[in-house]
Chain A
């Protein structure tokens, strides 16, 4: 199933890059997309992928909102939080998760631990009760 998504992504990039829908170009694009090496060993549920892609779309306006929020009010506190990785994630999905966390501006992933934890750095206005389920919190000087 993921093979299709992979192929579609390559074709989209190809057509955006060339901006040409002549038959010859379409044939070249399909050939290139099929010839590039693919990772066949990992398959994840299409539902998970669509879910993450949808979350990325939603994250764009949220990122703008957070940016304006940081601009208007000073965020003086910083801390580092450990977040759990959702179960049964393939490396591709973990990459997208890290991407999603880093894309919004109050959080950035520092490190991915092999035992299923993300190390996330956050900025915030003041200290308060933690959201989510952090396993451990380590304050750093701000």
Chain B
């Protein structure tokens, strides 16, 4: 049961990753790409780590730390990129 759940979370995380990364090749604005990339990075990685947490609970301190760092780092980096993209000119 735990196995099914953890593999399900890992697979859904990988789906999030691919879905968020593919729009990078599209024709949308930089900010739209940033939106979808933050979906893939934050949520995909978080569900993969939660899946790992179910599989190897003995490593929980490291994995929880990874979860916290992912949530903070990805979001703040997204904000920084958005900020940089908006000050460069009017081509957004």
Residues of chain A touching chain B, judged by Cβ–Cβ distance below 8 Å, are: 13, 15-19, 60, 63-64, 67, 70-71, 78, 98-99, 102-103, 105-106, 108-111, 119, 121, 123, 140-142
State the majority secondary structure of interface residues on B. Answer: helix
28 pairs of residues in contact across A and B, judged by CB atoms under 8 Å:
A13-B68, A16-B61, A16-B65, A17-B65, A18-B61, A19-B62, A63-B43, A67-B39, A70-B35, A78-B29, A78-B32, A98-B79, A99-B72, A99-B76, A102-B79, A103-B42, A105-B36, A105-B38, A105-B39, A108-B34, A109-B79, A109-B82, A109-B83, A110-B31, A119-B86, A121-B35, A123-B32, A141-B29
The CA-CA distance from A110 to B82 in the complex, in Å, is 5
In the complex, which residues 28-51 of chain B have their Cβ closer than 8 Å to any Cβ of chain A?
Answer: 28-29, 31-32, 34-36, 38-39, 42-43
Residues of chain B touching chain A, judged by Cβ–Cβ distance below 8 Å, are: 16, 19, 28-29, 31-32, 34-36, 38-39, 42-43, 61-62, 64-65, 68, 71-72, 75-76, 78-79, 82-83, 85-87, 92
- Among A18, A102, A106, A110, contact of B86 (Cβ-Cβ < 8 Å): A110
- Among A63, A64, A109, A142, contact of B28 (Cβ-Cβ < 8 Å): A142
Determine the residue in chain B with the shortest Cβ distance to A101. B79
Chain A positions within 8 Å of B82 at CB level: 102, 108-110, 121
Determine the residue in chain A with the shortest Cβ distance to B77. A102
The CA-CA distance from A16 to B16 in the complex, in Å, is 27
**Minimum distance in angstroms from A36 CB to a CB of chain B:** 17
The CA-CA distance from A123 to B39 in the complex, in Å, is 13
Contact B83–A111 (Cβ < 8 Å):
yes
Contact B16–A111 (Cβ < 8 Å):
no
Contact B19–A71 (Cβ < 8 Å):
yes
Please list the 9 inter-chain residue pairs (A to B) with the smallest Cβ-Cβ separation, ordered nearest first: A19-B61, A16-B65, A110-B86, A67-B39, A16-B61, A102-B79, A121-B31, A103-B75, A105-B39
Chain A positions within 8 Å of B19 at CB level: 71
The CA-CA distance from A72 to B82 in the complex, in Å, is 24
The CA-CA distance from A141 to B91 in the complex, in Å, is 10
